[in-house]
Amino acid sequence: MSHFFTERILQAEEQILKPVEREPDIITRRLAAEVRVSQFLVHRTLKEQGLHPYHVQKVQALEPADFILLICDFLISS
């Protein structure tokens, strides 16, 4: 591997990790476009740092069992 290529990868990894520190739930596709690297490099960099991209799951309505968990969480944190 050439020195230039290695240096470019290290710079890209630094550019990838800075926005992740500011915004942990950043979308990897958007991050790759901002840094101008492949999404593969974003995923690999996150994995090397022990981080994992995740998908937000939207919920349309709470189920009855959800209220029990909310009450338990509230009581535990009180």
The verdict on residue 32 lying in a domain is yes
Q: Is the pTM of this model over 0.85?
A: no
Task: Give yes or no for residue 59 having a pLDDT over 80.
Answer: no
Task: Give yes or no for residue 56 having a pLDDT over 80.
Answer: no
The verdict on residue 33 lying in a domain is yes
Task: Round to whole Å and give the CA distance between 36 and 67.
Answer: 44
| Lowest model confidence (mean pLDDT) among 5-9, 21-25, 71-75 | 5-9
Other Cβ atoms closer than 10 A to 35:
20
pLDDT given at position 32:
94
Contact status, residue 46 vs residue 53, Cβ threshold 8 Å = yes
Task: Give yes or no for residue 1 having a pLDDT over 70.
Answer: no
Q: What is the mean pLDDT of residues 43-67?
A: 84
Other Cβ atoms closer than 10 A to 78:
5
The verdict on residue 37 lying in a domain is yes
The verdict on residue 27 lying in a domain is yes
